[in-house]
Structure 1
Amino acid sequence: MEGLSRRAATALAFAGLAASRPASAQEAWPSRPVRLVIPFTPAGTTDLVGRLAAERLSARLGQQVVVENRPGAGGNVGAESVARAEADGHTLLLTTIGTGAINFAVYGDKMPYKPSDLAAVGLLVKVPNVLMVANGLPARTVGELVALSKSRPGGLNYGSAGIGSSPHVCTELFNIMTGARMTHVPYRGSAPMLTELMAERLEVGMDNIPSSLAFIKEGKLRAVATTGAKRSPVLPEVPTLDEAGVKGFEATAWFGVLAPDGTPRAVMERLGREVDAVAREPAFRARIEPLGGDLPGLKPDGGTSPETFEAFLAAERRKWLEVAQRSGAKVE
């Protein structure tokens, strides 16, 4: 009986130790629904990519991935909320080129979080931009557009989805590389900019392909060039800027997943594998590719990983910081 009592006491002691540990150390991840913060309003390319990713990740993780739209300050409101969240793998950020790179260049010391506050998980998709002109503008090629901008007093006006957006800094890079004289007119999103461009109250526009594709296909806008390294399969007749004579030009919008810094290594490794798998999934690609989206292409086999995404983020931050400094693009 005495031996049995000792065994019982030992068992009780171990049970007490287990009970004193934090719940997160005892439970397999994910132990509850995962929150994916999309730092922009519903609708639009960012929301589409985020919701598709949440759907596919839910199936792979065995827990629902719940989307939460938290817009504001060019995506900084939502991104900061994830940077300050508990680092347990249950809160993630659907990052964009803005929240992951451009904002650090154009917001400067107004940024509410640092790059090191968020850890790279993986890149989901790249989406080229498209340079467009109003149908009434007498320019059908990149060369004609640049020449027209230089010949007109005051140059031309171009629109984007807002200050610090991918189309904004992408067009500023175009101005730097070509000497084009075009002044930025920021809008609150792509929709109002496209409306003004189709009404010919705006001369030039730059936008993500998905939100402009239907208008281009319907002949309501004229596409001059795309910004990726190769022609877009959904606009095969439109040359890249590199092909159109702006040699070496490559700039795309992109979307990926970040987690709060300090998220456990095992969780990050699992997340990285699952995001890589989603980016390759036929079900995901079947929804993205018809809109002009492309695979990440960070690894030799075309996929993504936390390490390759971190290197990609660092390169993008350097690139857009230089563009912002040379163009003067900043949020006042």
Structure 2
Amino acid sequence: MRIARRLLLAGPALLAAPGGITPARAAAWSPDRPVRILIPYTPGAINDALGRLIGERFQEVLGQPGLVENRPGASGSLAIAATAQAAPDGLTIVVANTANLCMNPFLFANTGYDPRRDLAPIATVARVMNVLVVRADSPYRTLAELVAAAKAKPGALSFASSGAGSSPHLAAELFKARTGIELTHVPYRGSAPGLADLLGGRVTLSIDNLPNVLAHVQDGRMRALGVTGAERDPALPDVPTFLEAGFRGVEVYVWFGFVGPAALPAAIRDRLAGAIIGIANTPETAERIHRAGATVWTQDPAQMAALIEAGLQTWGSVIRAANLRIE
């Protein structure tokens, strides 16, 4: 993937503002205390890695450290709700993802926040695409063969996901909706057990985040049939996109970004956005984000707001059509 914004040099250039934000506005605020960075999941998750990679440069860029605080629970909703309720002073932000902001509001009766009303988009920093995989000895060698088999025997093929309502589950629901096929969902508590059952032949396929399946594809135990990106991933250059394989409307990324309370003043929001985007695009941090399994992909506050709105439209339709609800 192309890095969405040019690489910035370390030091003063980290203060450069993203598009649409004037340098004067981006530099108009400085925190007087450490910035608390909430993480919706346990240590080790990609949100956690991104929060730490960005936060460790806050002292250099903002003059105050970024302190990471893991607050898992309710599929990430606890940390997002806590941020929505925090004082709008720029001292509490959260690393959210597509599921937190665009899926959970339709899956749960009460998340404790409305992404449009209660949160202020600040900046995205990275994204990952999904990959449809089967076992290496599967009879299906292309997406077209898989779709034809699913249409011939509705519900006979099964797919593993990391849990009901997870982004891999909803990516598969989107695939079903776009192709008109029926697949049987087998949810697991995380990607690892689902992929283990795929390798064991107990399920037919999985559409999972690329970092979760890459090693299995590279060591020859799984076959990748398609990636959900707009273009092929450099790690799997021989694997076509869904569009290349003839299936439109299955472009799916899980993106990660920072949001704050809705009443966050524009000067504070823009200062944080300039710092976060600048840090993410430095060569050192970009490389470390890549090693964490993601691709640097930065969006400013207005772009992130549009991204959230588009995601709410897409995933709201998918979730309603699949009649999904998590109690």
So what's the TM-score if we normalise by structure 1? 0.84
2:327 counterpart of 1:328 = no
SS at match of 2:31: coil
Does the CA-based 8 Å contact 1:233-1:292 persist in structure 2? no
Partner deviation per Cα, 1:143-175 (whole Å, 9 max, x = no partner): 111122233463211111222222111111100
1:305 alignment partner, one of 297, 300, 315: 300
SS at match of 1:225: strand
Match of 2:4 in 1: none
Deviates most, 43-52 or 215-224 = 43-52
Which has the bigger relative contact order, CA under 8 A and spacing at least 6?
2
Identity %: 40
Q: Distance in 1 between matches of 2:292 and 2:92?
A: 28
Partner deviation per Cα, 1:82-102 (whole Å, 9 max, x = no partner): 111222111111001011111
Q: What are the equivalent positions in structure 2 for 1:148-187 lying under 5 Å apart?
A: 148-152=149-153, 154-187=155-188
Give how far 1:62 is off. 2.6
Letter in 1 for 2:301: P
Give how far 1:250 is off. 1.0
Letter in 1 for 2:311: E
Match of 1:96 in 2: 97
Does the CA-based 8 Å contact 1:45-1:211 persist in structure 2? no
Structure 1 residues without counterparts, runs of 5 or longer: 1-27, 297-302
Q: Distance in 1 between matches of 2:94 and 2:304?
A: 14
Q: Distance in 2 between matches of 1:61 and 1:331?
A: 40
Which one has a larger percent helix, Structure 1 or Structure 2? 1
Q: What are the equivalent positions in structure 2 for 1:291-302 lying under 5 Å apart?
A: 293-296=294-297
Match of 1:224 in 2: 225
Deviates most, 74-83 or 37-46 = 37-46
Q: Distance in 2 between matches of 1:310 and 1:155?
A: 40
Match of 1:190 in 2: 191
SS at match of 1:37: strand
Give how far 1:227 is off. 0.4
Q: Distance in 2 between matches of 1:310 and 1:230?
A: 23
Distance 1:239 1:327, change over 3 A: same
> Larger radius of gyration, structure 1 or 2?
1
SS at match of 1:81: helix
Runs (4+) of structure 1 exceeding 6 A deviation are none
Q: What are the equivalent positions in structure 2 for 1:1-332 lying under 5 Å apart?
A: 29-107=30-108, 109-115=109-115, 116-152=117-153, 154-289=155-290, 293-296=294-297, 303-332=298-327
Does the CA-based 8 Å contact 1:56-1:284 persist in structure 2? no
Partner deviation per Cα, 1:266-305 (whole Å, 9 max, x = no partner): 2111011112212322112212335653343xxxxxx421
Letter in 2 for 1:217: Q
Count of residues in Structure 1 that have an aligned counterpart in Structure 2:
299
Match of 2:7 in 1: none
Letter in 1 for 2:320: Q
So what's the TM-score if we normalise by structure 2? 0.86
Q: Distance in 1 between matches of 2:147 and 2:41?
A: 33
Distance 1:86 1:331, change over 3 A: same
Q: Distance in 2 between matches of 1:201 and 1:74?
A: 26
Q: Distance in 1 between matches of 2:150 and 2:59?
A: 49
SS at match of 1:176: helix
Q: Distance in 2 between matches of 1:180 and 1:60?
A: 50
Give how far 1:111 is off. 2.4
Give how far 1:44 is off. 3.1
Does the CA-based 8 Å contact 1:169-1:329 persist in structure 2? no
Structure 2 residues without counterparts, runs of 5 or longer: 1-28
Distance 1:255 1:81, change over 3 A: same
Does the CA-based 8 Å contact 2:128-2:293 persist in structure 1? yes
Give how far 1:58 is off. 4.2
Q: Distance in 2 between matches of 1:305 and 1:217?
A: 35
Letter in 2 for 1:29: S
Does the CA-based 8 Å contact 1:158-1:202 persist in structure 2? yes
Distance 1:101 1:275, change over 3 A: same
